[in-house]
Amino acid sequence: MKNSGIGGQALMEGVMMRNGGEYACSVRKPDGEIVQIKEKYQNIGGSDRLRKIPFVRGPLIFLDSMKLGMSTLTWSASFFEEDPSTAAGAAAAQDDTGADASAQDDMKADAGKKSSAGEKAVMGATIMFAVALAVGLFIVLPTVLVKLLRRVISSGIGISLLEGLIRMVVFVGYLALIAQMKDIKRVFMYHGAEHKCINCIEHGLPLTVENAAKSSRFHKRCGTSFILFSLLVSIFVGIFLPKEPVLLRIGTKLLALPVILSLSYEFIRLAGSSENPVVSALSKPGLWLQRLTTREPDESMLEVGIASTEAVFDWETWEKENFG
């Protein structure tokens, strides 16, 4: 197995694939058509220098991934939110009116600007809410609950282990709960399609629906594995943080997040290209957890994954160079 360097994300009825500074999103619309965009990605801050420095790049790449993930997910969802009757009514009204064409164009331009600004505002609010929810569930909640048991458990190791256990239960429970939702199940199927396309390439097979279908839906570089390993690293880091008062412990945990993200990113990066037995063993929990976050995709989903992959990655040339 070789590391191709490409990565991706499942979308609403689609797949996003990223290779270097380019990404492509493919979505299968309700009418069966595959619609695709391909764009350059601008990193937060605009500089790539820091993203090449080990143990510094982790938090930055995490923020980049969150920003790109939210924007592409919002884009894919837009194909399933529009009311057809409203769109048809608007088109009919435009045909029947005698309004000046240039005035209508100006109105469309203004509406487009407002829509773009509104989408950015919504995306920003969504990211802020997601971060606040994550902090509440994985930092504040475990710390407060363990505080109630402080008379029973007083050692730094015991406190950190119990907090870690609570975080794991919350995380796995959350995944198990949302995995029962119909729409999320389909997103997880597209997640499986994304992994299968990457695994197909990285094992030197031609990227076809048949070969992708036979490939594994689990992958070491998956974001699920990254989050799980971050939770494990946070247990170790928590041992060295102050136990009291609760607000100080919560504050130091927040300050330690860049360290946790850095260590986790470097491990996932190593795991993606290493066959070392120790690294493989440490990767197992993340692969097991992917049984919750991935599902076996159908052929139509694999077609979408292949479309995004081929838009940003010349797999034929890469396989010739790496597999002969």
pLDDT at site 126: 77
DSSP bridge partners of 16: 9, 25
Report how far apart the first and last C-alpha atoms of the chain are (Å, whole number): 13
Pairing type for strands 22-28 and 14-19 reads antiparallel
Measured distance CA(253)–CA(282) in Å, rounded: 24
State residue 128's pLDDT score: 85
Q: Per residue in 197-219, pLDDT tens? A: 999 999 999 999 999 999 999 99
Closest CA to 310 of 211, 222, 207: 207
139-157 confidence digits (pLDDT tens)? 999 999 999 887 778 788 9
Give the 3-state DSSP-derived string for the chain, with helices as H, strands as E and coil as C. CCCCCCEEEEECCEEEEEECCEEEEEEECCCCCEEEEEEECCCCCCCCCHHHCCCCHHHHHHHHHHHHHHHHHHHHHHHHCCCHHHHHHHHHHHHHCCCCHHHHHHHHHHHHHHHHHHHHHHHHHHHHHHHHHHHHHHHHHHHHHHHCCCCCCCCHHHHHHHHHHHHHHHHHHHHHHHCCCHHHHHHHHHHHHHHHHHHHHHCCCCCCHHHHHHCCCCCCCCHHHHHHHHHHHHHHHHCCCCCCCHHHHHHHHHHHHHHHHHHHHHHHHHHCCCCCHHHHHHHHHHHHHHHHHCCCCCHHHHHHHHHHHHHHCCHHHHHHHHHC
Q: Give me the helix-helix angle, 246-271 and 57-77, nearest 10°.
A: 80
Q: Give the residues of the chain that fall short of pLDDT 70.
A: 82-120
Contacts of 20 (CB under 8 A, 6+ apart): 5
**Contacts for 179-182: CB closer than 8 Å, 24+ residues apart:** 179/292, 179/293
Tell me the one-letter amino acid at 101.
A
pLDDT of residue 163: 96
